[in-house]
Structure 1
Amino acid sequence: MCQHQPPCPPATAPDHHTARLVAYHPEQGWGLLCNGVLIFDDGGELTPDGRVRPAGRGADVVPVG
């Protein structure tokens, strides 16, 4: 997904949150990183494979669905 050079970390990398922001909607409280991760203003995340990282939960990731 990322076309930056050097490429941003993939969504599965521990530092995935350092990827570049490609869309930001502060009025809705979310942004999209170039690796496909949705980040939320409360600190939560949604990965491209559908896993959720709740706000303030560190490395806990739970599948959705």
Structure 2
Amino acid sequence: MCAHVRSCPSATADDRVLAVPVSRHPEQGWTLLCNGVVLFDDDGELLPDGQVVLDRRWQLATA
């Protein structure tokens, strides 16, 4: 799906949120990434297969 020179992570990869945004809608609270993931401002994700991810394992815990 990604046509960037350096290919973006797939929707199933742990680092999927690092894909390039293709459509941003901050007024609605979401961003569509080139791998098909919808990233919500409340830290949720919607994967292309319809799976909902409610937490982001990739965020660093603050000390």
Q: TM-score, normalised on structure 2?
A: 0.85
Structure 1 gaps of 5+ residues are 60-65
- For 1:9-48, list aligned pairs within 5 A: 9-48=9-48
Structure 2 gaps of 5+ residues are 58-63
RMSD: 1.0
Higher relative contact order structure (alpha carbons within 8 Å, sequence separation ≥ 6): 2
Cα shift readout 1:17-41 (whole Å, capped 9, x = no counterpart): 1000000001100000000000000
Paired AA for residue 49 in structure 1: D
Query: Post-superposition shift, 1:6?
Result: 1.1
Q: Name the SS for the 1:43 alignment partner.
A: coil
Structure 1 runs of 4+ off > 3 angstroms?
none
Q: TM-score, normalised on structure 1?
A: 0.82
Quick one: percent identity of the two aligned structures? 58
- Counting matched residue pairs gives 57
